[in-house]
Amino acid sequence: MTIQWFPGHMAKARRQVEEKLKLVDFIMELVDARAPLSSQNPMLQQVLQSKPKMIILMKKDLADNRETDKWITYFHERDITAIAVNVNDKGDIQKVIHQAKVLGQVKMDKLKRKGIKPRASRAMIVGIPNVGKSTLINRLANKKAAKTGDRPGITKQQLWIKVKKDFELLDTPGILWPKFEDEKVGLRLAALGTIKDQLLSLQDITIFVINYFQEHYPTLLQQRYNIEDDHKDIVDIFEAIGRKRGCLEGGGNVNYDKVAEVVIQDLRSGRLGPITLEAVK
């Protein structure tokens, strides 16, 4: 399965990212802590490699802490600064500001050596849709500087936002790449709400999620939906969840589409517990 989704504003945004790179000192790349590699846009990596970069693993409160620690180590071993963030944790926000100042100081020191008066350092913040970019910006700026929402594609233009006197952020729209060659990448991002739900069958996404849970988090489905651990077959699991949650239609049959909606919404909201859909290899 190859998933293709490349709206016109995303193609324009990619060009703008390339054009605006010369204006910034470093990059803040946001990824989802529940799928750090899958949520990293491969289309931008070559473009961004000319600048110092920090990776921010967003939504750490929804992710498996053990896996998040492994991912932080993974990036550090590749000489990439990486921190995990819960945007509602003021301590995490301060960590982002501190690390941004460290990265920006490199450019400020160069300006000083040239006899140029230092200025606020400048960062470009990039990430895929619905990763939490606008919310993080608002926390950093301590005001409602960017629009927020729980659906992909809220930010459509580039904006400069001041973060106290420490640095300035250039916001960019969330950018996906033209197509996902790896089916699992598409399914992970669809499960997390990055891709619009209309583009994939929720049942297919749910089957992927259930299979992953059976391998990595075998007790979570049982605990959330109060189903027996002898339910191993996908159809049996759909049936069990559907009957426990009242996802029924005429004749008392289970409505599989409603079951899929329940599971995916529970996953995205964290009601299934802290999980990570991508393990370090």
pTM: 0.86
Closest CA to 168 of 229, 100, 231, 66: 100
Measured distance CA(201)–CA(260) in Å, rounded: 9
Which of 149, 179, 209 terminates a domain? The answer is 179
The most confident of the ranges 93-102, 166-175, 177-186 is: 93-102
Residue 256, pLDDT above cutoff 90:
yes
* pLDDT bucket at 105, cuts 50 / 70 / 90: confident
Q: Residue 123 — left, alpha, or beta (φ > 0 → left; ψ -120 to 50 → alpha)?
A: beta
Residue 38 region by backbone torsions, left for phi larger than 0, else alpha for psi between -120 and 50, else beta? alpha
Same domain, 57 and 113: yes
Q: Is the pLDDT of residue 182 over 90?
A: no
Do 37 and 88 belong to one domain?
yes
Residue 48 and residue 140 share a domain: yes
Same domain, 118 and 233: no
Tell me what percent of the residues of the chain surpass a pLDDT of 70: 85
- Regarding whether 107 and 226 lie in a shared domain, the answer is no
- Spell out the alpha helix ranges (H) of the chain: 8-20, 42-48, 65-76, 90-113, 133-141, 183-192, 202-216, 220-225, 234-245, 256-269
Q: Which residue range forms the structural domain that includes residue 79?
A: 3-179
Q: How many domains does the chain have?
A: 2
pLDDT of residue 151: 41
User: Does 171 share its domain with 210?
Assistant: no
Q: What is the CATH number of the domain that holds 39?
A: 3.40.50.300
Whether 277 maps to a domain, the answer reads no
In-domain check, residue 184:
no
- Per-residue confidence band for 162, with pLDDT thresholds at 50, 70 and 90: confident
CA-angle at 45, arms to 42 and 49, nearest 5°:
170
Regarding whether 253 and 219 lie in a shared domain, the answer is yes
In a domain, 188, yes or no: no
* Mean pLDDT within 179-184: 77
In a domain, 138, yes or no: yes
- Whether residues 94 and 154 fall in one domain: yes
Sequence-ordered list of residues with C-beta below 8 angstroms from that of 277, at least 6 positions apart, any chain? 34, 35, 38, 188, 191, 192, 209, 212
Q: Are residues 170 and 58 in the same domain?
A: yes
Verify that 224 and 158 share a domain, yes or no. no
Nearest of 264, 262, 227 to residue 244 by alpha carbon? 227
197 pLDDT more than 80: no
87 and 146 inside one domain: yes
pLDDT of residue 164: 78
Q: Look at residue 186 and tell me if it is in a domain.
A: no
